[in-house]
Amino acid sequence: MSQNNEELKRKIKIYKLTNEQISEMTGYAIDTVKAWRVKPGAKKYRPMPYRAMKLLIFEIKDRNMKQTS
């Protein structure tokens, strides 16, 4: 699995992010976000691009989001 996909799962848990929020924060379609969350080897799996993770990290910091865990 892509390191970014694993990091995405951690961020979802820590910040309680929804697919819709991730889509809006990164500019990628919701179906693409869903594909980042499925298990490797699954038909719909896609590795999360480095650029998308950088955008997500920037948006989390810019919005001053608080950790929930």
Task: List average pLDDT for each run of 10 residues in the chain, which is 69 residues long.
Answer: 91 97 98 95 95 97 86
Whole-structure pTM over 0.85, yes or no?
yes
pLDDT of residue 29: 98
Quickly count: other Cβ atoms within 10 Å of residue 65's Cβ. Answer: 16
pLDDT of residue 1: 58
Q: Tokens representing 65?
A: 């989001």
pLDDT of residue 69: 63
Nearest alpha carbon to residue 4 among 56, 68, 65: 56
Please return the burial class of 37, using the count of CB atoms within 10 Å of its CB with bins 0-12, 13-18 and 19+. middle
pLDDT of residue 31: 97
